[in-house]
Amino acid sequence: MVTIGYAVTMTVLSIRFKRPGAYERLKRDAARRAESISSVGERLIDEGLRMEAHPGIVFRDGPSGRRAALAAGPDVWEIAGLLRGLRGSVEERVADAAIQLSLTESQVRATSRYYAEFTDEINAEIALNDDIADRELAAWENERRLLSG
């Protein structure tokens, strides 16, 4: 099992909302997620800064929580995992991954740059997926063994 730990430091920030409805949308989103307004606001600010620094990257909800993904493509961890498994120069790996995933080389580069900045986070997502895949494979193999004879 992979866990991600963070040092707990708190910085207080006071925000004045000037855009009509922004605070109400934030409150509704926090209520829908059963989270505090502060935690949703912090997440949205962090994700917004990451998306601004890494064009083409967005964030999605899913069974394993929120994760970075290509705007019109797979999750970053999926592409990073493929890139790690390929051989050759960086250029060759990017080209191979683009072909295998039917993406442009620019899309693959966007994910590799995001991966370079948030390596530990993406590696944890890859490890979590590997653990789940191993458990599912073992369950499938056990089922086949039990039911085959």
pLDDT exceeds 70 at position 45? yes
The residues near 76 (Cβ < 8 Å, ≥ 6 apart) are 57, 67, 68, 69, 70, 111, 114, 115, 122, 125
In contact, 40 and 47? CB cutoff 8 Å: no
In contact, 80 and 72? CB cutoff 8 Å: no
What's residue 63's pLDDT? 79
Q: What is the 3-state secondary structure (H, E, C) of 18-46?
A: CCCCHHHHHHHHHHHHCCCHHHHHHHHHH
**pLDDT of 53-86, one tens digit each?**
999 999 999 877 899 999 989 999 999 999 999 9
Q: How many residues are listed for the chain in this entry?
A: 149
Tell me if the pTM is above 0.85: no
List Cα–Cα distances, 99 to 50, 103, 110, in angstroms. Answer: 26, 7, 15
**pLDDT of 16-37, one tens digit each?**
889 889 999 999 999 999 999 9
What is the C-alpha to C-alpha distance for residues 126 and 79, in angstroms, rounded to an integer?
Answer: 10
What is the C-alpha to C-alpha distance for residues 92 and 81, in angstroms, rounded to an integer?
Answer: 15
What is the C-alpha to C-alpha distance for residues 106 and 96, in angstroms, rounded to an integer?
Answer: 13
Confidence bin at 95 (pLDDT 50/70/90) = very high
